[in-house]
Structures are given as C-alpha cells and as structure tokens.
Structure 1
Amino acid sequence: MKIKLENIVWKEGEFYVAQCLNVEVSSFGNTKEDALANLQEALELYFEDSPVIETTQIESPEIISTEIEYA
C-alpha cells in the first residue's frame, strides 16, 4: 500500500531536522538528504508497528513566522 505524506525539513543549529506533517514522526541528520533518509526509515518503522494507518491529509501547507515578546 502506498500513501502520500508531506514532509518539511529545516536547519537547526548544525543539524537538519525532517518532520512528517501527517503523523507525529521526525528525525535529523547532518545534511538535508540524511535527515530525509532518516525520516523515511522512521516512517517505515512507524507504519510497520501501526495496525491501522491513520494520517491527516495536508492541503496547501504554508510556513508562517510569528514573533512574540516574552520576559
């Protein structure tokens, strides 16, 4: 069975973080490619252990920045 998943990747410090937007799975690596490959493996393991596949359908995701002030 194939399902389409939406992922996002960003640099955080010296590592890249990859996160799936459909399920709560993320990973990291030294490069974008490493982070995405590690995410792929994590997703395969996640769905391997999941008897029922429940994903959220993501449509037209946008990255929105927010600024706040705090003490």
Structure 2
Amino acid sequence: MWFGPGGVFKVALFVDLHYGEDAWTDWGPAQDAASDRVMAAVLDAENPDLVVYLGDLVTANNLPVPNASL
C-alpha cells in the first residue's frame, strides 16, 4: 500500500453521478458540468491516493432498450 506520512491512505469516492441524464434540456448538461467541477475541486484539494467511482456513472433512465441497465 501507498501510505503517506502518519500512515494515511486517502480515498475519494464518487457515487451515482448519472451522467447524460435529461441530456435534451439545459438541466442535464449543466448537472454534468457541475459534477465535473465538484470532482475536480475535490481531487485538487484532497490529492487522494485512490479514486473510486460507484453506482450509476451513466444514466440509463431514458434508454429505449428494455433492460438496458442490467
């Protein structure tokens, strides 16, 4: 493991970002850009040793394909 001074191992966790949701309106792309800004700020401020993305990174709510999220 890559432990820093004092035995610290810092993890940044980003969950359920839902990129692409409501993409045909102004709201969806604005939310994607806001997510980008928040993640960049966290990564710059915290300089984590490991970054983990969990949950629904890309939305599947409006896909016309049955069971597209499975």
TM-score, length basis structure 2? 0.38
Choose between structure 1 and 2: higher helix proportion.
Answer: 2
TM-score, length basis structure 1? 0.38
Choose between structure 1 and 2: higher strand proportion.
Answer: 1
Q: Which protein shows a greater Rg?
A: 2
